[in-house]
Homo-oligomer: A and B are copies of this chain.
Amino acid sequence: MSDLTDTTPGWLSQDELEVARSRMPILYVEAVPVRVDDSGEVTKIGLLLRIGPEGNVSRTLVSGRVLHHERVRDALLRHLEKDLGPMALPHVPASLQPFTVAEYFPTQGITPYHDPRQHAVSLAYIVPVTGDCRPRQDALDLVWFDPQEAVSPEVQTEMPGGHGFLVRQALAHVGQSAS
| Chain A residues within 8 Å of B, Cβ to Cβ | 11-12, 16, 20, 22-27, 34, 36, 38-42, 65-74, 76-77, 91-103, 105-107, 110-112, 119, 121, 123, 126, 128, 162, 165, 168-169, 172-177, 179
Contacts and interface: CB of A to CB of B under 8 A. Distances in A.
Given A16-B23, A91-B40, A168 B162 contact: no
A32 B68 CA distance: 26
Copies in the complex: 4
Given A40-B94, A94-B41, A99-B95, A119 B175 contact: no
A16 B24 CA distance: 11
B24 A73 contact: no
A103 B23 contact: no
A109 B50 CA distance: 35
B97 A40 contact: no
Given A96-B175, A175-B111, A101 B121 contact: no
If over half of A's interface residues share one DSSP class (helix, strand or loop), that class is named, otherwise mixed; here it is loop
Contacts of A12: 23-24
Given A38-B77, A112-B176, 9 more contacts: A24-B65, A25-B66, A34-B94, A41-B73, A95-B99, A96-B174, A98-B98, A100-B172, A169-B173
Listed residue (A12, A103, A128) with the most chain B CB atoms within 10 angstroms of its CB = A103
A98 B101 contact: yes
A153 to B, nearest CB: 11
B39 A74 contact: yes
Nearest to A69: B119
A97 B94 contact: no
